[in-house]
Amino acid sequence: MKFIDHPLDACMTISGCLLVITAAILDFRDISIDFWFMAAGALIIIVQAFMIAWKNRTTDIRISRLHRINFMSSLTLGIGAYMMYTNSNSWVAMIILYVAIQIFMAFRWKE
């Protein structure tokens, strides 16, 4: 089983990640609209993770648990967007936490 089975899910993942990366670049250049890119990217990733978790809630319990962990880790991007809004630099820690969890989960999926 692949994590992303549908092309729309892949497009949502790619667009959300590109928005988050754009927000990071804009923040490093001190451009004030960085929060909106981060919020949009985080929202896309959170909604996509929720939809996948909801769709796979009745499958194998192990896969269902991994999808729930994916959804909970995507919420760290929402917290990161809030931290970017408050001009705190802790949003970087939220992105690093999200990436670390995603890398861990990449090795947990069955093929």
Report pLDDT digits (tens) over 49-71.
Answer: 998 888 887 767 888 888 889 89
Is the pLDDT at 1 greater than 50? The verdict is: no
Q: What's the CA gap between 107 and 48, in Å, rounded?
A: 20
Mean pLDDT (the chain, rounded): 87
Considering the domain boundaries, does residue 62 fall inside one? yes
Burial 66-79 (b: 16+ CB within 10 A, else e): bbbbbbebbbbbbb
Q: What's the CA gap between 34 and 55, in Å, rounded?
A: 32
pLDDT of residue 57: 77
pTM comes to 0.85
Domain that holds residue 89: 7-106
Averaged over 101-109, what is the pLDDT?
85
Is the pLDDT at 99 greater than 50? The verdict is: yes
Considering the domain boundaries, does residue 1 fall inside one? no
Task: Render pLDDT for 16-48 as a digit per residue (tens, 0 to 9).
Answer: 999 999 999 998 898 888 899 999 999 999 999
Considering the domain boundaries, does residue 2 fall inside one? no
Count up the domains in the chain and report the number: 1
Is the pLDDT at 5 greater than 70? The verdict is: no
